[in-house]
Structure 1
Amino acid sequence: MKKIKWIMIASLLVCFAFIMTACGSNSASSSEEPLKIWAMGAEGQKLKEFAKNFEEEHGIKTDVLAVPWGDAHDKILTAVAAGEGPDVLQIGNTWVAEFGEAGTFLDLTEYVESEEYPNLNQDNFFPSSTQTTVYNDKVLAVPYIIDTRVLFYRTDLLEQAGYPDGPATWDETLDAARTLAARGPDKNGFEIDQGSHHIPMMFAWEHGWDYDISKGAENFADPKFKQAMELYHQLFDEDLAQLEAGKETVQAFADGTNPMFISGPYMVNTIKEQAPEIEGKWNVKVMPKAETSNSIAGGSHFSVFHSSERVEDALTFINYMADPETQVEWYKEAFTLPTVKAAWEDPALKNDPMIKVFGEQIEMTKAFPVMAEYEFMAKELLKTLEQINRGGKSVDEALAEYQKEVEKILSE
C-alpha cells in the first residue's frame, strides 16, 4: 500500500509541477545553462572529467552530479515529488517500472527510432539490456552500463580438487566445494553474498525457471524454483559456505579460505590491486550449469527527466555515450562493461581473456522482471532464505509463506 500511495502522490506532484513550469517565466537558453546530469556511484565521479570530451565535441556544457548509489533512490524520489530533476538521469535497471509508474521519465520511443540519434537504436544493444528499458510499451531509458556475474576461482586450489579449469556444472561445483571445505575447520568451498538477491535469482534461472508476470505469485510454486532454493540452502547446510560473517572477500580469496565466489567485472581489478601475490593463481568462468548457465543482466540506464527543457541536448549526450568508440573509452576509464555489442569487437575487450569471459556470459543472461513490485519481492526472498538457513524452516514451508507474501505485495 505504501508503494501505491507514494506513486499516486508523486504522480500528482509531477502534474502540478508541469503546470507551474508551463505558467512560469522562460528558463535560460541551452547556451547559458549547463546540461544537468545525475550519475551514480564511483563512475559518477569519473564521468565529471570524462564529459569534457563531449563538451569539446558538441559545444554543450555539462554539470555532472555524482550521487552515491546508497542515496540515489531517495534522491530521485525527492526530485519526482518536487517535479525538479536533472536533464539526464542514471537509474538502476530494476527501477524503471517503479519510477516509470510515477511519470518520472520522458517517453523516448520516437527518439530511439530516429535517424537523428542512430546510437540509440535498440538493435545496437544486448537484448537483455533493452528488456529493462521498456515499461507499459514505452521506451523510458537507454542502456548505459551492463553488468553480469561470473564464477571467480583459485586455479591452484581447484586443480588440487580435480578441476584445474574450474567447475562447469553445479554438480561439479558441489563436488569441488566439498573437497575444498574438507581442508580444515577454517576453510570453505564457496562464498555467497547473502545480501544479494541476484544470486538466488541466478540459481533459479540456471534451473530453467523464469518469471511470468501473468502468473504472479504462482511463479514461486514452480518445482524448478524450489530446486534452485534447495541448492542455495545446500551450500550452507553442508557447511560448504560460511553462514556467519567472515573475512573480507578479497582477503579470503587470496589466503584460500574461500576459493570460489560469484561477482562482477569490477572485482577483476580489485583482486589485481589488492592481492597481487596470487597473480596467475586465479581465473573467471561462466556460471556453472544446471539446466542453463544464465546469469543476471544487471547494470544501469540513462533516461531524460520528464520536465527537462533540454531534451535535444540530453539526447545528444546519451547518443554520444552510446557510441561504440565512446563505450570503449569509457570502459578503459571506468572499467564498466559496454552495453553496445559493437564495442566488444575492440581489442581492449576482445583480447582480454578475463573480460572475454564476461562477454560470453552476457550472451547468457536474463533480465529482472520489469515491474514496480520487483524490489519488494526481492527483499522478501532474502528474508525467506534467511528463515531457511538460520531459522530452520523447511524449504517447502518457507516458500509457501513467501508465495503468500508475494500475493500481498502484488495486491497492494
Structure 2
Amino acid sequence: MKRNKWAAGLAGAMILTSVLSACGNGGTTEGGNSAEGGKVTLNVWGMGEEAKSLPKIAEQFEKDNPNIKINVQALPWSSAHDKLLTAVASKKGPDVVQMGTTWIPEFAAAGALMDLTPMAANYPEIKEDNFYPGSILTTKYEDKTVGVPWYIDTRVLYYRTDLLKEVGYNEAPKTWDELQDAAAKLTQRGKGKYGISIDPKEQSLAFMFARQNGSKLIDDKTPLFDQPEFVEAVDYLNSFYKNGSAPKDLGIDAIQGLSGDGVVPMFISGPWMVKLINDQAPDLKGKWATAVLPKKENNISSLGGANLSVFQYTEHKEEAMKFLAYMSKPETQLKWLELTQSMPSTKKAWEDPALQQDPHYKVIGEQMKASEPMPMIKPFEEIAQTYLKSFERIYRGQAEVKPELDAFNKQAQSILNK
C-alpha cells in the first residue's frame, strides 16, 4: 500500500472529533443509542476516494439485512493512520475498518483487530480457499486471522507494443536479460529517449526483484540484505541508471512517457494504470499492452491492496461478520470493480467475462498467481524507508552497491532488534 503524507491542523482535528463522536463506543446505533427500533448501525471506516462509493455498494446489504444500517466514514489516506491510532487508544472507533495490507501487523500487534477465526466457519464467503494465497498472507498475524481480503493489486509490466517491435521484440521481455536488452535498444533510438522507468521511490521494487532472484529477504529476525541474492537484484536495478536506460529525474509521469513518441516506453505499475491510460491517452489504443513480469528464478510480484477487519472493541460482532461476508461475495466484488476499478480478491470473481475478456485484466489475474505481500512484520515499513535512502545513495550518489547494502543490513538488524 502506498499513499501519502499526514494531514494536520485544526481542520484535521475537527474531522477527527466528528468521526469519533459519530462512531461512539465501538459501534453505535441510530440516534446514538445502543438500539433504536431494533436497528443496529454499523460504522464502517473506508480510506481514500474509493471509500466514497461504499454507501452505494452497501445498499443491497441493507436490503438483505433490514435490521442493519451501514454508516460510512470516508477518511483520507493521509490522515487515516493517525485516526486509527487515536481510536485504538480510546477503544472507540468503527465496527468495520479498511486496513491497508502493510498496516495489519502494527494494528494487530496493538490488539485493535478482532481474531475472526472462531466465527469464520459460520460464513462460507470468507473461506480462505476463496482467495489467492498471497492475499491470505496479508490477513495473518501470528496465529490469528485479523482480516478478509477486500481488493488487491499487484505489479505488471506496461509497454508500447509498436516500439518494442521496432527493436526486435514482438512480445514483452520474458527474462531479466531480455528486459535489460530491450531497454538498452530502446534507449539507442536517440537523445532524450529511454527504455524503462525504474521508480526509485517505489519501495517494493527492490524487494520484489530480490525475491525473483531467490532472496528470502528476512529469515526469522535476521535480515538478508547483504547476501548475494539481494545485492545482485539491486545491482541489476541500478544498471538501468548506469547505462542510461532509465531516467533519474525526467519530470514527466508514466502516461506522458508512454505517449507520443514514447520517451519511456516501459514501466512497472499496478492495475489502476489501465483505466488511466485508456482515459488520458486514447490515442495509444492498440499500441500498448500489459505483461507478467520478466523472470530470473521466478517472476514474483508484490501484492498490495486492502483488507476489511473488525475492530476489537465493537459491540456488534455478528453484524460486522455479516458485512464482511457480503463484501466477499463475487457478485459484490464485481460491482465494486465496476464502481471503483479496484481488483477483486476472490478467485471466483476473476472468472467473470469482464475480467477474462479484457487482455490487461487477464494479465493482472495471471500475475496474481505469482504475487506475494511484503514481509508481514511490524517494522517492515521502517526497513523499507531506510532502504530507499540507501538506494538513493547508490543510483544518485554512485555509492558502491555491496558496501552500501552491508550498511543497510546493519540498520535493518537494529530495527528488527528493537
TM-score, reference length from structure 2 = 0.89
1:225 maps onto 2:233 in alignment: no
Structure 2 partner of 1:303: 309
Once the two structures are TM-superposed, the CA of residue 213 in structure 1 deviates from its matched residue by: 3.9
Shift in CA distance, 31/390, structure 1 to aligned 2, threshold 3 Å: farther
Structure 1 partner of 2:213: 207
Equivalents in 1 of 2:58, 2:127: separation in Å? Answer: 22
Which residue, out of 390, 397, 417, partners 1:411? 417
Equivalents in 2 of 1:288, 1:70: separation in Å? Answer: 33
Where in structure 2 are the equivalents of 1:382-401 lying within 5 Å?
Answer: 382-401=388-407
SS of the equivalent of 2:315 reads coil
Q: Is the 8 A contact 2:57 2:335 kept in 1?
A: no
Equivalents in 2 of 1:26, 1:177: separation in Å? Answer: 63
Q: Is the 8 A contact 2:46 2:73 kept in 1?
A: yes
Once the two structures are TM-superposed, the CA of residue 69 in structure 1 deviates from its matched residue by: 1.8
Q: Is the 8 A contact 1:205 1:366 kept in 2?
A: no
Q: Is the 8 A contact 1:38 1:90 kept in 2?
A: yes
SS of the equivalent of 1:84 reads coil
SS of the equivalent of 1:297 reads strand
SS of the equivalent of 1:66 reads strand
Structure 1 partner of 2:21: none
Structure 1 partner of 2:239: 234
Where in structure 2 are the equivalents of 1:86-235 lying within 5 Å?
Answer: 86-112=94-120, 115-217=121-223, 219-235=224-240
Structure richer in helix, relative to its length: 1
Structure 2 partner of 1:28: 35
- Name segments (4+ residues, structure 1) moved above 6 Å: none
SS of the equivalent of 1:221 reads coil
Equivalents in 1 of 2:122, 2:221: separation in Å? Answer: 40
Structure 1: any 5+ residue segments left out of the alignment?
A: 1-16
Structure 2: any 5+ residue segments left out of the alignment?
A: 1-23
Structure 2 partner of 1:243: 248
Structure 2 partner of 1:8: none
Equivalents in 2 of 1:259, 1:277: separation in Å? Answer: 15
Equivalents in 2 of 1:286, 1:316: separation in Å? Answer: 36
Equivalents in 1 of 2:250, 2:36: separation in Å? Answer: 54
Equivalents in 2 of 1:214, 1:287: separation in Å? Answer: 28
Structure 2 partner of 1:369: 375
Equivalents in 2 of 1:68, 1:88: separation in Å? Answer: 16
SS of the equivalent of 2:115 reads coil
Shift in CA distance, 367/176, structure 1 to aligned 2, threshold 3 Å: same
- Letter matched to residue 361 of structure 2: I
Equivalents in 2 of 1:370, 1:210: separation in Å? Answer: 13
Superposed CA deviations along residues 240-299 of structure 1, whole A, max 9, x for unmatched, are: 111114212111111201100001111001000000001000000000111111101111
Which residue, out of 289, 310, 325, partners 1:283? 289
CA RMSD of aligned residues (A): 1.9
- Letter matched to residue 250 of structure 1: I
Q: Is the 8 A contact 1:30 1:310 kept in 2?
A: no
- Letter matched to residue 251 of structure 1: Q
TM-score, reference length from structure 1 = 0.91
Structure 2 partner of 1:7: none
Shift in CA distance, 212/18, structure 1 to aligned 2, threshold 3 Å: farther
Equivalents in 2 of 1:248, 1:345: separation in Å? Answer: 33
SS of the equivalent of 1:341 reads coil
Superposed CA deviations along residues 336-372 of structure 1, whole A, max 9, x for unmatched, are: 1111111111111122111110111000112211110
1:40 maps onto 2:47 in alignment: yes
Equivalents in 2 of 1:198, 1:92: separation in Å? Answer: 15
Equivalents in 1 of 2:379, 2:196: separation in Å? Answer: 31
Equivalents in 2 of 1:173, 1:230: separation in Å? Answer: 14
Once the two structures are TM-superposed, the CA of residue 215 in structure 1 deviates from its matched residue by: 4.5
Once the two structures are TM-superposed, the CA of residue 33 in structure 1 deviates from its matched residue by: 4.8
Equivalents in 1 of 2:250, 2:94: separation in Å? Answer: 39
Q: Is the 8 A contact 2:221 2:416 kept in 1?
A: no
Which residue, out of 293, 300, 304, partners 1:294? 300
Once the two structures are TM-superposed, the CA of residue 306 in structure 1 deviates from its matched residue by: 0.8
Q: Is the 8 A contact 2:207 2:217 kept in 1?
A: no
Q: Is the 8 A contact 1:161 1:179 kept in 2?
A: yes
Structure 1 partner of 2:5: none
Q: Is the 8 A contact 1:41 1:66 kept in 2?
A: yes
Moved more, 393-402 or 47-56: 47-56
User: In the comparison of the two structures, how many residue pairs are matched?
Assistant: 389
1:69 maps onto 2:77 in alignment: yes
Equivalents in 2 of 1:77, 1:235: separation in Å? Answer: 40
Structure 2 partner of 1:330: 336
Equivalents in 1 of 2:128, 2:257: separation in Å? Answer: 41
Shift in CA distance, 183/215, structure 1 to aligned 2, threshold 3 Å: same
Once the two structures are TM-superposed, the CA of residue 326 in structure 1 deviates from its matched residue by: 1.2
- Letter matched to residue 214 of structure 1: D
